[in-house]
């Protein structure tokens, strides 16, 4: 039932290194792999993974992406003298060769393909391959940027060929643009390539104009290449998450991949000398988690860059621990995205609006921005000409990067009980759940309170017992003895009130209350900020609107998959992340019209909040949903929704309007830079 996480690593891939002096290549060292693996072992993560041996790729596999001439040339490198190797290296950019690198490059592909095989055949659910050399810069006939063969591009072709995979999503969160991957799939609509990268208006390596947001793919592949250029260094967790919420995830869900490959470079993390970004290692837990419910959970992460050994090892651990299903840490340091990030997000969304229904109503780029793009290049240049000034700043940045300090990510302890359920008589407790009953310790005080609040007139013994169970379950969740739970009740509205009141009188200081479907929600409880209520329904909201009451109205309620998914990704998740609750209360109203797979997606995605503390409330008669819901709470990936159609235009529009209205209060909902700011930035 519980499928494992693969870890593919072989020490052999540490057996090559730079043999001469080259400042551009000095950061790519064997220790990168050693420290990453050691950290996985030290944290007990390696042991929990399914260890899979590497193998050498065959020529045919290399040729899935590369030319015969290039392969033959690389084949000769093991026999070259140092002088010959140096000369061979010179024809390529920012890469080095070593007598053993060809062997390692074949192992790196082989490791990646082993991972794909094990995931595609269902032997494991997901996994990570720790490889050297990396791959995403290498091209049809060229090595580049420490890369010899394009591991991930080969993996995508391999999956299509061997398993008939129809749609592959490649998420490249390395801080450099994987131009090799882009070139490979530019005109291929079956591979959606997403990359964010340090760009600085084309002033950062590899300094290509085709790394900008307006390279969207060609011919049939138009729209299937998504570039997010970072035009400033110092991007933080909220910048990364905003791009996921407002660019990548909507497109990825619309695309509906049957396999997700991650070009997992960690030079996008804090402390990295190449990236100079400020996202902390725990952000990779969230990035990973947010991708884990796509493609039925089939996710293969493959190491690319990452040159600060501390930050790299921590980030690798965060990624693997998330793949294993441990509770995701609370998101840290979430302000809003910075102006420069918003400018990039705005540009990408606008460049892609003609290709993706989810972006159809994205704001157009002001025409003045077209000239901003050119102007910025000029600006940067003139900065360099003011001799010395720019240079000094660069030196300072360098020092700051090396001095960067950040707390070690906290331990992620899984509670002894993963999922508890309190179900009415006659409903079997699903496999893997702990059947919860508080009868052992009835708390007379709680009992009295409940009776007072909910049963003044009548005396319904069954209902009272259920509410007692509910309270006891919440208490155990607060103590971190139970991660999440599922309760079936006769009256969801009453149970919801009871749970909210319980939380309000306990240590829990923030509850995210998500109501799905029509039915009265307790809008009055949102005054004090201790509850954020998001209701997705077909009813026009009535009553007050406040920062903490967000009614999302969809024309056909929850029955339109595409519209609902968009509301979850672009609205609910960013709100939830910024609010950072310590409990998520997920309530399914009767007759919500929501289909099971979408519900499972929602349940799965919400596990990224409150360290996985989600309590699900459903109506007693929804017995058929108990199994699927429990399975999602237990960490089983939701089934793929497949490619999504277009949401109703009026829904997309109303969601955009709502996002607009809430932006002043919730920065993570922003997708455009403040008008008139001219892209100025607080991090300059
Ligand atoms: N300081 C990977 O991360 N050198 N490759 C840039 C600017 C090339 C990075 C020089 C960086 C290649 C896989
Ligand atoms: Zn990189």
* pLDDT tens column, 154-175: 999 999 999 999 999 999 999 9
Handedness of CA 550, 554, 560, 563 (dihedral sign): negative
Residue nearest atom 12 in ligand 1 by C-alpha distance: 145
Query: Distance from the CA of 263 to the center of ligand 2, in angstroms?
Result: 9
Quick one: pLDDT band at residue 105, thresholds 50, 70, 90? very high
Q: For a pocket test of ligand 1, which of 130, 176, 302 has the largest count of ligand atoms closer than 8 A to its C-beta?
A: 176
Torsions phi, psi for 69 (to 5 deg): -60, -45
DSSP 295-309: GGG-EEEEE-----H
Instruction: Write out the two tokens for 411.
Output: 């331990």
Instruction: Write out the two tokens for 607.
Output: 């596990």
Instruction: Write out the two tokens for 590.
Output: 């009767």
Q: Each residue of 269-314: pLDDT tens digit? A: 999 999 999 999 999 999 999 999 999 999 999 999 999 999 999 9
Query: Distance from the CA of 93 to the center of ligand 1, in angstroms?
Result: 9
Let me know: does 657 contact 317? Beta carbons within 8 Å: no
Torsion angle, CA of 304/306/307/309, rounded to 10 degrees? -120
Q: What is the domain class of 417-647 according to CATH?
A: alpha beta
Query: Distance from the CA of 344 to the center of ligand 1, in angstroms?
Result: 22
Q: Please identify, by atom number, the ligand 1 atom nearest to the C-alpha of residue 176.
A: 3
Task: Give mean pLDDT, residues 190-195.
Answer: 99
Let me know: does 257 contact 292? Beta carbons within 8 Å: no
Q: Please identify, by atom number, the ligand 1 atom nearest to the C-alpha of residue 174.
A: 3
Q: Each residue of 625-649: pLDDT tens digit? A: 999 999 999 999 999 999 999 999 8
SS3 content of the chain, % helix, strand, coil (to 5): 45, 15, 45
Q: Each residue of 24-53: pLDDT tens digit? A: 999 999 999 999 999 999 999 999 999 999
Residue nearest atom 2 in ligand 1 by C-alpha distance: 305
Q: Please identify, by atom number, the ligand 1 atom nearest to the C-alpha of residue 304.
A: 13
Quick one: pLDDT band at residue 401, thresholds 50, 70, 90? low
Instruction: Write out the two tokens for 560.
Output: 């339109």
Residue nearest atom 8 in ligand 1 by C-alpha distance: 145
- Distance between CA atoms of residues 119 and 540, nearest Å: 44
Q: Give first-to-last CA distance, the chain, whole Å.
A: 51
Task: Give mean pLDDT, residues 597-602.
Answer: 97
pLDDT at 593: 87
- Distance between CA atoms of residues 132 and 302, nearest Å: 10
Residue nearest atom 9 in ligand 1 by C-alpha distance: 145
Residues 6+ away with beta carbon under 8 Å from 544: 523
Helix residue spans in 77-178 (DSSP H): 82-90, 101-120, 151-163
Residue nearest atom 11 in ligand 1 by C-alpha distance: 145
Q: Please identify, by atom number, the ligand 1 atom nearest to the C-alpha of residue 267.
A: 3
pLDDT at 382: 36
Query: Distance from the CA of 388 to the center of ligand 1, in angstroms?
Result: 24
Query: Distance from the CA of 148 to the center of ligand 2, in angstroms?
Result: 14
Let me know: does 514 contact 534? Beta carbons within 8 Å: yes
Give ion ligand 2 contacts, CB < 5 A.
174, 176, 265, 267, 305
Q: For a pocket test of ligand 1, which of 89, 92, 139, 145 has the largest count of ligand atoms closer than 8 A to its C-beta?
A: 145
Q: How many CB atoms lie within 10 A of CB 449?
A: 17
Let me know: does 508 contact 586? Beta carbons within 8 Å: no
pLDDT at 504: 78
- Distance between CA atoms of residues 588 and 632, nearest Å: 15
Mean pLDDT of the chain: 91
Quick one: pLDDT band at residue 524, thresholds 50, 70, 90? confident
Query: Distance from the CA of 27 to the center of ligand 1, in angstroms?
Result: 9
Q: Which residues are catalytic?
A: 137
Task: Give mean pLDDT, residues 409-436.
Answer: 93
Q: Please identify, by atom number, the ligand 1 atom nearest to the C-alpha of residue 175.
A: 3
- Distance between CA atoms of residues 178 and 208, nearest Å: 11
Query: Distance from the CA of 505 to the center of ligand 2, in angstroms?
Result: 48
Minimum-distance ligand to the CA of 176? 2
- Judged against a pLDDT cut of 90, whether residue 389 lies above it is answered with no
Quick one: pLDDT band at residue 2, thresholds 50, 70, 90? low
Minimum-distance ligand to the CA of 134? 1
Minimum-distance ligand to the CA of 198? 2
pLDDT at 647: 92
- Distance between CA atoms of residues 684 and 678, nearest Å: 13
pLDDT at 458: 61
Q: How many CB atoms lie within 10 A of CB 190?
A: 16
pLDDT at 454: 74
- Judged against a pLDDT cut of 90, whether residue 399 lies above it is answered with no
Among 67-81, 160-174, 519-533, the least confident range: 519-533
Query: Distance from the CA of 179 to the center of ligand 1, in angstroms?
Result: 12
Torsion angle, CA of 294/299/301/302, rounded to 10 degrees? -120
- Distance between CA atoms of residues 502 and 497, nearest Å: 8
Q: How many CB atoms lie within 10 A of CB 524?
A: 10
Q: Please identify, by atom number, the ligand 1 atom nearest to the C-alpha of residue 93.
A: 8
Q: For a pocket test of ligand 1, which of 274, 307, 308 has the largest count of ligand atoms closer than 8 A to its C-beta?
A: 274
- Judged against a pLDDT cut of 60, whether residue 335 lies above it is answered with yes
CA of 427: how far to CAs of 283, 422, 424, 435, 596, in Å?
39, 10, 6, 11, 18
DSSP 508-527: ---EEEEEESSS---GGGGT
Let me know: does 335 contact 300? Beta carbons within 8 Å: no
Question: When comparing pLDDT for 443 and 226, which is higher?
Answer: 226
What does the buried/exposed string (b/e) look like for 605-629 if buried means 16 or more CB atoms within 10 Å of the residue's CB?
A: bbbbbbbbbbbbbbbbeeeebbebb
Ligand 1 first shell, C-beta below 6 A = 24, 94, 134, 137, 145-147, 174, 176, 205, 265, 267, 274, 304-305
Tell me which residue has tokens 């591009």. 153
Quote the Cα angle for 139-143-144, to 5°: 90
Residue nearest atom 13 in ligand 1 by C-alpha distance: 305
- Distance between CA atoms of residues 452 and 448, nearest Å: 6
pLDDT at 396: 47
Query: Distance from the CA of 389 to the center of ligand 1, in angstroms?
Result: 24
Quick one: pLDDT band at residue 591, thresholds 50, 70, 90? confident
Quick one: pLDDT band at residue 462, thresholds 50, 70, 90? confident
Minimum-distance ligand to the CA of 147? 1
Handedness of CA 132, 134, 140, 142 (dihedral sign): negative
Q: For 432-437, which contacts have Cβ atoms below 8 Å and span 24 or more sequence positions?
A: 432/1, 432/2, 432/630, 432/634, 433/486, 433/630, 433/633, 433/634, 434/482, 436/469, 436/472, 436/473, 436/482, 436/485, 437/469
Residue nearest atom 10 in ligand 1 by C-alpha distance: 24
Q: For a pocket test of ligand 1, which of 137, 199, 211 has the largest count of ligand atoms closer than 8 A to its C-beta?
A: 137
- Distance between CA atoms of residues 401 and 398, nearest Å: 5
């Amino acid at each position: 039932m519980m499928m494992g996480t693969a870890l593919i690593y072989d020490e052999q891939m540490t057996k090559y290194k730079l043999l001469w002096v080259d400042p551009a290549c000095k950061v790519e060292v064997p220790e990168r792999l050693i420290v990453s693996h050691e950290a996985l072992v030290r944290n007990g993560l390696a042991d929990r993974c399914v260890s899979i041996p590497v193998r050498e790729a065959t020529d045919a596999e290399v040729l899935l992406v590369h030319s015969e001439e290039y392969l033959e040339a690389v084949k000769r490198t093991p026999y070259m003298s140092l002088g010959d190797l140096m000369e061979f290296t010179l024809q390529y950019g920012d890469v080095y060769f070593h007598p053993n690198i060809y062997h390692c490059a074949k192992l790196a592909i082989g490791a990646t393909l082993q991972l794909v095989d094990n995931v595609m055949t269902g032997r494991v659910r997901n996994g990570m391959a720790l490889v050297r050399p990396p791959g995403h810069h290498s091209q049809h006939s060229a090595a580049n940027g420490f890369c010899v063969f394009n591991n991930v591009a080969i993996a995508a072709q391999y999956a299509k060929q061997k398993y008939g995979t129809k749609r592959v999503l490649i998420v490249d969160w390395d801080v450099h643009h994987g131009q090799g991957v882009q070139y490979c799939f530019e005109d291929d609509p079956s591979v959606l390539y997403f990359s964010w990268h340090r760009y600085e208006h084309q002033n950062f390596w590899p300094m290509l104009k085709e790394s900008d947001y307006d390279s969207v793919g060609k011919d049939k592949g138009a729209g299937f290449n998504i570039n997010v250029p970072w035009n400033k260094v110092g991007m933080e967790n909220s910048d990364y998450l905003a791009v996921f919420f407002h660019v990548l995830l909507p497109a990825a869900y619309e695309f509906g991949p049957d396999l997700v490959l991650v070009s997992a470079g960690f030079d996008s993390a804090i402390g990295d000398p190449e990236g100079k970004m400020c996202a902390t290692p725990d952000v990779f837990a969230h990035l990973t988690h947010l991708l884990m419910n796509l493609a039925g959970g089939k996710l293969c992460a493959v190491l690319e860059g990452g040159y600060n050994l501390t930050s790299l090892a921590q980030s690798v651990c965060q990624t693997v621990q998330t793949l294993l299903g441990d509770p995701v840490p609370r998101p840290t340091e979430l302000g809003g995205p910075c102006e420069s990030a918003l400018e990039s997000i705005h540009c990408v969304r606008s460049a892609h609006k003609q290709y993706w229904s989810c972006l159809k109503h994205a704001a157009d780029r002001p025409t003045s921005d077209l000239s901003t793009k050119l102007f910025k290049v000029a600006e940067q240049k003139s900065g360099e000409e003011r001799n010395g000034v720019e240079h000094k700043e660069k030196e300072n940045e360098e020092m700051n990067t090396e001095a960067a300090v950040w707390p070690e990510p906290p331990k992620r302890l899984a509670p002894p009980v993963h999922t508890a359920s309190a179900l009415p008589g006659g409903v079997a407790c699903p496999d893997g759940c702990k059947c919860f009953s508080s009868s052992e310790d009835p708390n007379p005080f709680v009992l009295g309170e409940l009776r007072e609040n909910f049963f003044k007139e009548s005396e319904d013994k069954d209902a009272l017992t259920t509410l007692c169970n509910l309270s006891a379950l919440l208490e155990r969740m607060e103590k971190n003895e139970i991660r999440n739970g599922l309760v079936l009740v006769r009256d969801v509205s009453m149970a919801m009130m009871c749970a909210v009141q319980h939380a309000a009188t306990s240590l829990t200081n923030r509850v995210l209350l998500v109501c799905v479907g029509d039915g009265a929600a307790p809008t009055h409880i949102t005054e004090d900020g201790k509850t954020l209520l998001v209701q997705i329904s077909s009813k026009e909201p009535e009553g007050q609107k406040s920062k903490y009451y967000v009614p999302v109205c969809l024309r056909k309620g929850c029955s339109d998959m595409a519209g609902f998914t968009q509301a979850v990704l672009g609205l609910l998740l960013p709100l939830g992340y910024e609010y950072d609750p310590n409990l998520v209360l997920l309530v399914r109203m009767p007759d919500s019209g929501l289909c099971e797979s979408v519900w499972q997606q929602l349940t799965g995605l919400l596990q990224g909040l409150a360290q996985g503390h989600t309590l699900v409330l459903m109506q007693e008669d929804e017995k058929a949903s108990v199994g699927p819901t429990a399975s999602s709470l237990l960490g089983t990936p939701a089934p793929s929704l497949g490619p999504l159609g277009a949401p109703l235009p009026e829904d997309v529009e109303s969601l955009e309007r709502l996002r607009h209205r809430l932006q002043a209060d919730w920065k993570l909902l922003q997708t455009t830079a403040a008008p008139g700011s001219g892209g100025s930035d607080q991090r300059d």
